[in-house]
Amino acid sequence: MLERITTIRGRAVPLRGKDIDTDRILPARFMKALTFEGLGQYLFYDERFDERGNPKPHPLNDPRYQGATILLVESGFGSGSSREHAPQAIKRAGFRALIGESFAEIFFGNATAIGLPCVALAPEDLGVLFQMVEENPELEVEIDLVQKEVRFGGRVAPLSIREEAREALVEGLWDPIGELLQAGELLDEFDRKLPYPRRAE
Amino acid sequence: MGKSLYEKVWEAHEVRRLKNGMSQLFIDLHLLHEVTSPQAFGMLKDLGLKVRYPHRTFATVDHIVPTHDRTEPFQDPLAQGMLEALRKNTREHGITFFDLGSGHQGIVHIVGPQEGLTQPGMTIACGDSHTSTHGAFGAIAFGIGTTQVRDVLATQTLAAQRLKVRRINVEGQLGPGVYAKDVILHIIRHLGVKGGLGYAYEYGGSTVEAMDMESRMTLCNMSIEGGARVGYVNPDETTFRYLEGRPYVPKGVEWEEAKRRWLAFRSDPDATYDDVVTFRAEEIAPTVTWGVNPGQAIPIDGRIPLLEELPEEERAQAEDALAYMGLKPGQPIKGVPIQVAFIGSCTNARLSDLREVARYLKGHKVKKGVRALVVPGSEWIAKKAEEEGIAEVFREAGFEWRNPGCSMCLAMNPDRLEGDELAASSSNRNYKGRMGSPRGRTVLMSPVMVAAAAVAGEIADAREVFGIGR
């Protein structure tokens, strides 16, 4: 049985920038591996470290945000490649959810399927949240997928997330493999019915 | 009421509804490569599952292949390890693998159509966002993550969310020296890199109908750069002419039957769309990017926008992009010096691309100091290019003629930019660090424009460099 993901509570790291692509989240050269293990250390590598490996100023290097579990982003987050390595790196770096304005589709699907919710706030609410977190890195943020709201500093902001994804997270069905397998013989029926590439003798 | 191809294909492949309201969608064709599949096979093993229908999965190796010297073992043990993992996984599970030296290896989105694996009316998935390429055949094709690669291996299905459909008409005749690459850069420039979120793009209109299959593939390839996971063109006689006789395409009586079936998937004349936009072909010039996403583009004879000319919400991003690129607002893009020229990638490494460039490049030389690479999309294309004398035209001009693979497009092999080198590139992404150097810079354009830049040593108008259209 998968974990039911209903609420996520924690501090947040504010990461400014629109249309942040998956090449920035996890540069391609770190994908040369047979597993996802250890990817957390390469999260935003080229923005966090110079060519000699020395840390650069970046919210993820900022001691005030260490231990945060929510990644705060702007719009179009996760555009570009289909690499699941990107949300895997975010999850393996200790994050449990993302709050933003909008997310690229494949990224959103990949994140949901590994139990990493991506929720959206209206631009005004997101702007306030960014500002409050930047002023007070200790601010407690709560994402409530059941009530469909984000609570912070005495405020309540309605969140949006595709309803199917929300239900999957809340019901513990975010990894669909079990349900897909249940289709059983129905699959064989489709395999018989639908043509596939067949090399002629 | 009429239906679009997207709706028809979806309905033919929807196995059932899942508890959360998503659809379980049957995938006709699953394509694999070495980068996003090993973890999926690992997950399969952990769950004690097998590949359910191995006859529907095909694999090749593309991202990590060294293009200079492919002698094994490769110098990079990690790359060698990925190749061996794919060999082992495909062998153990009975999956057809187009290995190095088989004559069929190449970039996965070039190999699918080339072998005739890609067919109209299919659902196609692959762990690579440029799977949208296969939509050129009237297939619903999209990129998936590794957990979903596992799902397809185990069940041949996915939990999927139905998209809205935007019809994009392009009408009229493209000018000389203007290509499908310019059309898609123009579309993304106007609709934005987030414009396609939630949509499948259906491309049509007289310009698209007149395009050959390879141009349609270029068009569909970059749908993802416009935020659309899926892009497609309705199948027609052009599609059938391309497919006929390819290895995995039905023959004889079955061929006639297949054509009838494929035509039935075409969007109905009275199909309804969630949105319709129209572009004029005459308004499309050779287009190049100036920034760090594919929507930051301008016509070659234009100048980079002034910040105040941009919508307010785009200014900070543009400023950041220009700082990275070392360019200034208001500056013409023409004349910016380049250090590297790259012709290749799943967008533009097809035979027609190489033929078109060779036609103009003959008799010209790459400017001294420019590192110019041409990486054909597949072993078959490389062979044809040798036979037709195209490879020799490139070599004589001063291009390095390489072995097939993804190469510099994302630099998972030894081909990469150094420092802050600026590359004129026929690939699909100009993101920061994309071509392997954290400070490397990419300017996207058509292959003929890359050749012009290589010859001029700077970003140039191919129509001027090669006298196109005179």
SS (H, E, C) B376-412: CCEHHHHHHHHHCCHHHHHHHHCCEECCCCCHHHCCC
CATH fold for the domain made of B5-275: Aconitase; domain 3 (3.30.499)
> Which of B439, B368, B429, B408 shows the shortest CA–CA distance to B107?
B408
Quickly tell me which residue has 């980068």 as its tokens: B35
**Residue A152: its H or E element:** strand A149-152
Measured distance CA(B56)–CA(A103) in Å, rounded: 31
Q: What kind and span of H or E run contains B352? A: helix B351-361
Q: How far is A147 from chain B (nearest CA, A)?
A: 17
| Inter-chain CB proximity A29 and B412 less than 8 Å | yes
> Is there a contact between A197 and B198 if contact means CB atoms under 8 Å apart?
no
Q: Do A84 and B247 count as a contact with CB atoms less than 8 A apart? A: no
Positions of chain B with pLDDT lower than 70, given as ranges: none
Taking CA atoms, A99 is separated from A34, A90, A118, A119, B20, in Å, by: 30, 13, 6, 5, 22
Q: A198: nearest CA in chain B?
A: B248
Helices marked H in B159-297 — which ranges? 180-191, 206-210, 213-221, 237-243, 253-264
In chain B, positions 321-350, which contact chain A (CB-CB < 8 Å)?
none
Does the beta carbon of A113 lie under 8 angstroms from any beta carbon of chain B?
yes
Neighbours of B398 (CB within 10 A): 18
Distance from CA of B142 to the nearest CA of A (A): 9
B406 is an annotated ligand-binding site residue: yes
Q: Is A184 in the B-facing interface, judged by CB distances under 8 Å?
A: no
Q: For chain B, say whether A33 makes contact (Cβ under 8 Å).
A: yes
Residue of chain A with shortest Cα separation from B144: A82
Q: Show me where the domains of chain B are located.
A: 5-275, 287-466
From A184, A185, A143, select the one nearest A160 (Cα to Cα): A143
CB B265 within 8 A of CB B137: no
A residues 162..181 contacting B (CB < 8 A): 162-165, 167-168, 171, 173, 175-177, 179-181
Q: Does A112 touch chain B (CB under 8 A)?
A: no
- CB contacts of A124 in chain B (<8 Å) are none
Q: Torsions phi, psi of B259, nearest 5?
A: -60, -40
The reply to whether A24 touches chain B by the CB within 8 Å rule is yes
Nearest CA in chain B to A172: B20
Q: Of A116, A180, A201, which to mutate for an interface test with B (greatest number of B Cβ within 10 Å)?
A: A180
Q: Do A196 and B28 touch (CB under 8 A)?
A: yes
Distance CA A159, CA B166 (A): 27
Q: Looking at the structure, give the CATH architecture of the domain made up of residues B287-466.
A: 2-Layer Sandwich (3.30)
Closest to A162 (Cβ–Cβ): which among B28, B161, B438?
B161
| Nearest-angstrom CA–CA distance, A35 and A164 | 28
Looking at the 3D structure of chain A, how many domains does it have? 1
Amino acid, res. A92:
R
Tell me whether residue A183 is in a domain. no
Q: At residue A55, what are phi and psi to the nearest 5 degrees?
A: -65, 140
Residue B60, SS3 per DSSP: strand
Cβ neighbours of A164 in B, within 8 Å: 18, 20-22, 161
Give every CB contact of residue B68 below 8 A, 6+ residues apart in sequence: B400, B402, B403, B414, B415
Portion 198-227 of B in contact with A at CB < 8 A? 198, 224, 227
Decide if B411 and A32 are in contact by the 8 Å CB cutoff: no
Chain A contact probe: residue of B39, B147, B253, B319 with most A CBs at under 10 A: B147
Among candidates A201, A199, A129, which has minimal Cα distance to A159? Answer: A129
Distance of alpha carbon B417 from the chain centroid: 20
As beta bridge partners, residue A71 has: A13, A98
pLDDT tens, chain A, 201 aa long:
799 999 999 999 999 999 999 999 999 999 999 999 999 999 999 999 998 999 999 999 999 999 999 999 999 999 999 999 999 999 999 999 999 999 999 999 999 999 999 999 999 999 999 999 999 999 999 999 999 999 999 999 999 999 999 999 999 999 999 999 999 999 999 999 999 999 865
Question: Parallel, antiparallel, or unpaired: how do β-strands B422-425 and B14-17 relate?
Answer: unpaired
Query: Residue A146, Cβ neighbours under 10 Å: how many?
Result: 11
Q: Is B126 annotated as a binding residue?
A: no
DSSP B459: -
Q: Which of A108, A47, A41, A44 is nearest to A75 (CA)?
A: A108
Instruction: Pick the closest to residue A57 from A16, A28, A20, A89 (CA basis).
Output: A16
* pLDDT on residue B1: 83
Element (H, E) at A125: helix A123-135
Could you tell me if B167 and B204 are in contact, meaning their C-beta atoms sit under 8 angstroms apart?
yes
For helices A163-170 and A105-113, what crossing angle results, to 10°? 10
Q: Which residues, in sequence order, are CB contacts of B175 under 8 Å at separation 6+? A: B281, B282, B284, B285, B469
A180 to B16, B148, B423: CA distances (angstroms): 10, 11, 45
Determine whether the interchain pair A196/B29 forms a contact, defined as Cβ–Cβ distance below 8 Å.
Answer: yes
Pairing of strands B199-204, B164-171: parallel
Residues of A in contact with B313 (CB under 8 A): 18
Tokens of A106: 């494949």
- Cα–Cα distances in Å, from A60 out to A14, A70, B90, B320? 9, 11, 39, 19
Give the C-alpha separation, A75 to A95, whole Å. Answer: 18
Is A200 in Cβ contact with B64 (below 8 Å)? no
Residue A77: strand, helix, or coil: strand
**Residue A159 belongs to domain with CATH number:** 3.20.19.10
pTM of the full structure: 0.97
Predicted pLDDT of residue B366: 98
Contact yes or no for B5/B135 (Cβ under 8 A)? no
Minimum CA–CA partner of B414 in chain A = A29
Binding-face residues of B in 346-375 toward A, CB within 8 A: none
Which sign does the torsion angle of CA B257, B259, B260, B262 carry? Answer: positive
The answer to whether domain B5-275 and domain B287-466 are alike in fold is yes
Q: Strand, helix or coil at A187?
A: helix
A167 to B78: CB separation less than 8 angstroms, yes or no: no
HSE of B462, CA atoms in CB hemisphere, 13 A: 28
Q: Which of A27, A80, A114 comes nearest B429 by C-beta?
A: A80
With both helix axes pointing from N to C terminus, report the angle between B213-221 and B180-191 in degrees, rounded to the nearest 10. Answer: 30
Q: Which of B164, B128, B153 is nearest to B143 (CA)?
A: B128
Q: Residue A112 belongs to what domain range? A: 7-173
ipTM of the complex model: 0.96
Residue among B13, B145, B411 whose CB faces A106 most closely: B145
Q: Which of residues 117-136 of B touch A (CB under 8 A)?
A: 117, 119, 127-129, 131
Instruction: State the nearest Cα–Cα gap between A22 and chain B, in angstroms.
Output: 9
Does residue A187 sit within a domain?
Answer: no
